Amino acid sequence: MAISLQPSAAPAAGLRRRQLGTHLSEINVTPFIDVMLVLLVIFMVTAPLMQSGISVNLPQAETESAPAEEGLTLVVTLDKYIHIGDSIININLLERRLREAYAGRAKKVVYLKADQGLPFGYIVQIMDITKKAGIELIGINTEPVEKREGTERR
């Protein structure tokens, strides 16, 4: 029985192949980062476009209206749609929705943003329904009057 202490050529060649194979199996993350940055830019550009609100042509007043601190804002468009947040409410269901929204609250305040082209009677009808729902205070949002040079309003 003869024992050879010198390494054979076959295992050394296999060891070299394994070393070369490990370097090729690493993932290149540069294209992944490029794609993520492009997606980030796309979302940053499109996000403000998705937050467009409900367009209402508010009436103008010389005094500024107080900002809505606590309370819901009812937005009434020219086509007589009533919006609470993102949902459209039927005028017949408005009283019930307001009662549900203010159940258990101590301070009951509603801010009304109504288009200036709406008939006054329709706005009074909404205010009456709001009062029936137990709302204590109704605020009306307006836009400031654009002051022209040389003319004063009396």
Any bridge partners for residue 72, and if so which?
A: 110
Summary count for the chain: helices (H), strands (E): 4, 7
Average confidence (pLDDT) over 22-39: 83
Q: Which of 1-10, 80-89, 131-140 has the lowest mean pLDDT?
A: 1-10
pLDDT of residue 42: 92
- Whole-prediction pTM value? 0.56
Element at 88 (helix H, strand E): strand 87-89
Tokens, residue 141:
């949002």
Q: Which fold has domain 60-144?
A: Nucleotidyltransferase; domain 5 (3.30.420)
Q: Does 97 have pLDDT greater than 50? A: yes
pLDDT of residue 27: 79
- Please give the single-letter amino acid code of residue 22: T
126 closest CA partner among 81, 86, 66: 81
| 21-29, Cβ contacts within 8 angstroms, sequence gap of 24 or more | none
Only one residue has tokens 């819901």, namely 72
Q: Does 131 have pLDDT greater than 60? A: yes
Task: Give 104's pLDDT tier (boundaries 50, 70, 90).
Answer: confident
Average confidence (pLDDT) over 72-82: 89
Tokens, residue 66:
């107080």
Provide the residue ranges of all domains of the chain, joining segments of one domain with +: 11-50, 60-144
Average confidence (pLDDT) over 3-24: 55
Task: Give 66's pLDDT tier (boundaries 50, 70, 90).
Answer: low
68 closest CA partner among 138, 145, 144: 138
Task: Give 154's pLDDT tier (boundaries 50, 70, 90).
Answer: very low
Only one residue has tokens 């200036």, namely 116
The H-assigned helical ranges of the chain are: 9-24, 30-50, 94-101, 120-132
